Amino acid sequence: MTDRAGTFDGVHRRNLSKVLGHVHLEGPLSRARLTAMTGLNRSTVASLVAELTARGLTIEQAPDPTNRVGRPSPVVAPDPRVLAIAVNPEVDAVTIAAVGIDGGIPARERIEVDHLPSPDETAELVASALDRWRSGDLRDARFVGVGLAVPGLVRASDGLVRFAPHLLWSDVPIRALVEAATGLPTAVGNDASLGAIAEHLFGAGRGVDDMVYLNGGASGIGGGLIVHGRPVGGSAGYAGEFGQNRPGIAMIDDRRAAEGVLEDEVSRARLLEVVGLDHGDEPALAAALAATDSTAVADEVGRQSRILATALCNAVNVLNPSLIVLGGFLATLAERDLGALEHAVAAQAMPAASEGLSIRVAALGENRLLIGAAEIAFADLLADPLVR
């Protein structure tokens, strides 16, 4: 939104945004429900919906056969032809998907690579996928932007990847590269932060305004915050790097790493090692943990849980969230005994702050990052449906 806030035009845009946002988040809604949710007048909602539909952002469907008295209300749904490209480059593959503003994923490709994907290569892969889809199944779709979920530090102002340790990307202007290759406006975010956004909007954190998300990946621990219902980027966009924190370690014997950095102490690699796996995906790790009754495994799980609990407490004391969502191997770790973790957090955090707190496991599956990436690609359109 430009600086039109406070003007009539601004009101109109905001109202359009509100309506579109509701159907984007909640799915198809009757106009009657939209009037209730927005607080606007029936006639106003009608004209707003008509405008959105004329712009190809929503579609109006026949009323649902609800068994209620009164004239049935047409159902407003996001137009599934409005798409974003979501991209997630990883060490061994680049995943590219077309994500609808209705939440659907009409196309998805995981392109395996036998080398680290370079920035240019990534941009080319995105452009070629876009070309294929545009001339194929998604011929009548409208691509509004690209969103990238990058496993590294991303500067929010210009979408520069400051450092992505596993991709070996350093100061890469990935946003500019992808924009040049595709001609589409592009947004870039840290993968864990986008995971937090996805879980907040569509997953375990739906409707929760103050939330902390922690994700345990193969390479470390990342995360994201939702405060006042909005994702927190910080001054440059680097917020959420829980993995680099140094939590207190109560038992001296619990410390493994010299620096005491969270992601060195609580790590997937250490879990894999103790269960005797060399590699392994998340289900394999979970299965191995469930299968064994070795005390060494139990000790390591306990040790990591204790340290994780302290790290969570620090976040709870400072942010007083109503929800902590754990993903990746942290979910695996916590899921074994969620009650114990909640108990440990309650024991160490301020009593008042832990009262309203719950800890949950991430709800979205492997599409989480794509959904988050699509969300930042849709952000401009959702904030102001009249752009362009």
Partner DNA sequence: CACTATTTGTTGCGCTTGACCCCAAATCCG
Partner DNA sequence: CGGATTTGGGGTCAAGCGCAACAAATAGTG
Say what angle helices 338-348 and 295-319 make with each other, to 10 degrees: 50
Q: List the single partner that 314 binds among DNA, a copy of itself, none, CB under 5 to 8 Å by kind.
A: a copy of itself
Q: List the single partner that 32 binds among DNA, a copy of itself, none, CB under 5 to 8 Å by kind.
A: DNA
Determine the distance from the C-alpha atom of residue 63 to the mean position of all C-alpha atoms in its chain, rounded to a whole number.
32
Distance CA 65, CA 172 (A): 53
Distance CA 336, CA 326 (A): 13
Cα distances from 30 to residues 46, 49, 265, 347, 364, in angstroms, run 11, 11, 50, 46, 26
The residue whose two tokens read 């996928």 is: 129
Does 2 bind DNA (CB under 7 A)? Our answer is no
Question: Largest alpha-carbon pair distance within the chain?
Answer: 69
Which of 22, 37, 44, 166: binder of DNA (CB under 7 A)? 44
Cβ distance to DNA smaller for residue 43 or 295: 43
Distance CA 208, CA 317 (A): 18
Q: List the single partner that 69 binds among DNA, a copy of itself, none, CB under 5 to 8 Å by kind.
A: DNA
Does 7 bind DNA (CB under 7 A)? Our answer is yes
Cα distances from 260 to residues 140, 238, 240, in angstroms, run 53, 21, 18
Cβ distance to a copy of itself smaller for residue 50 or 318: 318
Q: List the single partner that 214 binds among a copy of itself, DNA, none, CB under 5 to 8 Å by kind.
A: none
Does 42 bind DNA (CB under 7 A)? Our answer is yes
CB of 308 to a copy of itself, least distance (A): 13
CB of 5 to DNA, least distance (A): 9
Residues within window 270-289 making contact with DNA, judged by CB under 7 A: none
Stretch that binds DNA, among 20-28, 30-38, 356-364, 372-380 (CB under 7 A): 30-38
Instruction: Give the containing element (helix H, strand E) for 34.
Output: helix 31-38
Does 261 bind DNA (CB under 7 A)? Our answer is no
Residue 94 tokens read as 């680049």
Total of chain residues touching DNA, rule CB under 7 A: 31
Does 292 bind DNA (CB under 7 A)? Our answer is no
CB of 238 to a copy of itself, least distance (A): 4
Cβ distance to DNA smaller for residue 37 or 379: 37
Query: Dihedral (C-alpha) 300, 306, 309, 310: value to the nearest 10 degrees?
Result: -130
The long-range contacts involving 364-368, CB below 8 angstroms and separated by at least 24 positions, are: 364/198, 364/199, 364/202, 364/203, 364/204, 367/97, 367/105, 367/108, 368/195, 368/198, 368/199, 368/203, 368/327
Cα distances from 356 to residues 142, 277, 305, 320, 344, in angstroms, run 43, 38, 21, 9, 15
Query: Dihedral (C-alpha) 199, 380, 377, 228: value to the nearest 10 degrees?
Result: -20
Give the x-and-dash track for 74-93 against DNA (CB under 7 A).
x-------------------
Give the x-and-dash track for 56-75 against DNA (CB under 7 A).
-------x-x-xxxxxxxx-
Does 48 bind DNA (CB under 7 A)? Our answer is yes
Q: Please name which of 211, 332, 335 lies closest in space to residue 280, comparing C-alpha atoms.
A: 332
CB of 53 to DNA, least distance (A): 11
Cβ distance to a copy of itself smaller for residue 228 or 388: 228
Distance CA 267, CA 290 (A): 17
Q: Please name which of 219, 246, 194, 242 lies closest in space to residue 378, comparing C-alpha atoms.
A: 194
Which of 19, 20, 23, 32: binder of DNA (CB under 7 A)? 32
Which of 1, 2, 11, 273: binder of DNA (CB under 7 A)? 11
Cβ distance to a copy of itself smaller for residue 100 or 216: 216
Residues within the interface to a copy of itself (CB under 8 A): 3, 5-8, 10-11, 14-15, 18, 38-40, 153, 155, 162-163, 209-210, 223, 225, 227-228, 230, 232-242, 244-250, 252, 259-260, 310, 313-315, 317-322, 348-350, 352-353, 355-357
Q: List the single partner that 350 binds among a copy of itself, DNA, none, CB under 5 to 8 Å by kind.
A: a copy of itself
Cβ distance to DNA smaller for residue 16 or 309: 16
The residue whose two tokens read 């947004």 is: 187
Chain contacts with DNA (rule: CB under 7 A):
6-9, 11-12, 15, 30-32, 35, 39-48, 63, 65, 67-74
